[in-house]
Structure 1
Amino acid sequence: MAVRTVLTRDADALARNLTDWEQSYDQISAGSFQGVLTELRLPRMQVFRESISQSVRQSCRVWPGAVWFGFPDHPDCSRINGRQVEPEFVMVRPGNNEFELLTPSKHSIYGIVVCRELLAAAAAAGACDIDWLRLQAAEVLRVDPAERRRCVLMLGELLAQRPDAAGAVPHQLLRWQGMVVEALLAMLDHSGIEPAAAASFQRRCRIVARVRDYILAHRGVAITVPELCAQAHVSRRTLQYCFEDVLGMSPALYLRRLRLNGVRRELLHAGAANLAIGAVAADWGFSNFSQFSSDYRKLFGESASASLRLQTPHP
């Protein structure tokens, strides 16, 4: 079928269900997770809408040779690679390039992933002037609001196709693909690429990335914030500012969230039924099992043993 819908109770399971993407999700805000993905696969394109109940940090990579366009459908700002994105803007990243999203709670986003060759050929045929070098390096586009609304409305209509009627014949899929390309080009023809982030902000992003890499490389160690400061070669105040500016949270909170999500990912992995929860928690640096259990339940809205029983299979 051309249109499929997936419902999940786990953020990372939702990440794994988006076809041909390499990505992982960490739940940031506390509470039980509900995620819905509706996806339409076209010959050289992918259209989807993702709705999530909790704030999520997403590490994403789109399939090679493609370009991704993201349309936040939420009044609160998302973040791409740390920079805030106003709701009326459009996010963009080329294929085979890792990027990071931080999305708020009760968030929805429409996405288009299109083969770059298809888009370039259509742009040339329609005399649409696209600065490909700048687009490849861009993260945020300022677009005409009316063209954006028309594009999002059309995406919603395509994704609302009845599943029992969505096994469309090839010419129908090509017609839908042409409609999306036409809407994209109309929007790109009236868009401006937002300037690159300031050098000072890029430095803060590098500091956060360095700290994240250190945490993951020492996941079984009880790391302190002063230790993170020493690794990043910054003061505690500077580290706090970097994390609040890039991720909207403190280093200590990020450390706990990252490790709790690491434990959950292992507990939900297929074949994890025989794992000892305490051992997994200790592997992620939790020495106080009682405190871990409390923190886990607060973040995910269920106990670690309940997560272990879910046993989410990998597709």
Structure 2
Amino acid sequence: MHQNVTTATGHAPELRSAPAYRTVLTHDADELARNLTDWEQCYDQMTAGAFHGALAELRLPRMQVFREEISQSVRQTCRVWPGALWFGFPAQAGAIRINGRPLDGDCVMVRPGGGEFELLTPSSHVIYGMVVCRDVLAQAALRSACGVDWERMQAAEVLRVDGEARMACMEALAAALAVSGAHGGMLPAGSEQQLLAALLGVLDCSGVEPAAAHSFQRRQKVVARVRDYILAHRDQPLTVPDLCAIAHVSRRTLQYCFEDVLGMSPTLYLRRVRLNGVRRQLLDPAARRQPIGAVAAAWGFGSFSQFSSDYRKLFGASPSATRM
């Protein structure tokens, strides 16, 4: 995964004495992933068409607020800095998955720092994010007498929350981004405490969703086993029977696992992951001298003409245009 970090120690980022605000506009999903400060991320574009992404980010002392907008469906592998908690507020309910679990209704996603998690976001998607150092949030909760089960929070993926509190928190995040953007990154005094209060308003009336059913966890493991094999053997021209043998399941079971966890067939997933791998390598300055055909072959594409056609359909541009 790409690292965009201020420290290589594996600890929380250094404290910042003043807010910092910036925006990013890009036509490449993976470039958007690289631009979220202090995260390790990798984005794969999953739906066909030109990509447009926008990021607005506000960095505060021991807190980060951002708004991300994307035009195409993206598979995101993410890790936030250790010692923090990430909370994700999708602007539209439904169609997003965290570690394969679909969201519905009044929910907020949560994951602790230092651990990898995966999102599958739909096309035309907007999400607000808030990352807070865990000790800062715990101290704020103690001061406001907010009862939070931190042990369950650390293990949670989805929180069921009050709809009005969720909307109020999203509005607070949007307002902070708008004000800081209009005033050179500056915020009025007390803004950080107001953001913490808005988040605690969500957490105070939340419930941790139960862990996924054992049957779903088994399907997650099948998908993970196949995914890891695909990435470790990227030059092999894999077929569905090959993937079935790797996962020790029938063709029907493999299809069902992928449809249930990722919402797509294993064949489509394989093709999309490999096309994104080629694009990532074509954009890498270190691979500038490699012929496009050699890069495609290294990702398991035997027919250059079929690869080129599939690439243009997914990204809206030819492989050669990617390098221009």
| TM-score, normalised via structure 1 length | 0.95
TM-superposed deviation, 1:2: 2.0
Match of 2:299 among 271, 284, 287: 284
TM-superposed deviation, 1:162: 5.6
Contact 1:76 1:104 in 2 (8 A): no
Distance 1:87 1:13 in 2: 31
Match of 1:272 among 264, 287, 293: 287
Match of 1:156 among 156, 171, 174: 174
Deviations 1:135-193 (A, max 9, x none): 0000000111111111101111111136462242xxx4762211111001111001111
1:72-111 residue pairs with structure 2 within 5 A? 72-111=90-129
TM-superposed deviation, 1:126: 1.0
Match of 1:67 among 85, 88, 112: 85
Distance 1:64 1:173 in 2: 28
Corresponding position: 1:190 with 2:190: no
TM-superposed deviation, 1:86: 1.4
* RMSD value, Cα: 1.2
Distance 2:231 2:189 in 1: 44
Equivalent position of 1:313 in the other structure: none
Task: Pick 1 or 2: higher relative contact order, CA cutoff 8 A, min separation 6.
Answer: 1
Distance 2:238 2:189 in 1: 53
TM-superposed deviation, 1:308: 1.3
TM-superposed deviation, 1:76: 3.6
Distance 1:11 1:294 in 2: 20
Distance 2:28 2:317 in 1: 11
Contact 2:49 2:314 in 1 (8 A): yes
Contact 1:272 1:308 in 2 (8 A): no
Contact 1:74 1:87 in 2 (8 A): no
Distance 1:202 1:231 in 2: 18
Equivalent position of 2:75 in the other structure: 57
TM-superposed deviation, 1:272: 3.3
1:80-229 residue pairs with structure 2 within 5 A? 80-161=98-179, 163=181, 165-168=183-186, 172=187, 175-229=190-244
TM-superposed deviation, 1:7: 0.4
Structure 2 unmatched runs, 5+: 1-18
Distance 1:167 1:227 in 2: 52
TM-superposed deviation, 1:271: 3.6
Contact 1:77 1:87 in 2 (8 A): no
Distance 2:280 2:129 in 1: 25
TM-superposed deviation, 1:3: 1.6
Equivalent position of 2:38 in the other structure: 20
Distance 1:167 1:259 in 2: 39
Deviations 1:268-295 (A, max 9, x none): 1134332210000000000100000000
Structure 1 unmatched runs, 5+: 310-315
Spell out structure 1 runs of 4+ moving beyond 3 A: none
Distance 1:163 1:248 in 2: 37
Equivalent position of 1:303 in the other structure: 318
Matched letter for residue 118 of structure 2: E
Change (3 A) 1:167 1:38: closer
TM-superposed deviation, 1:77: 2.0
- Partner secondary structure for residue 201 of structure 2: helix
| TM-score, normalised via structure 2 length | 0.92
TM-superposed deviation, 1:41: 0.3
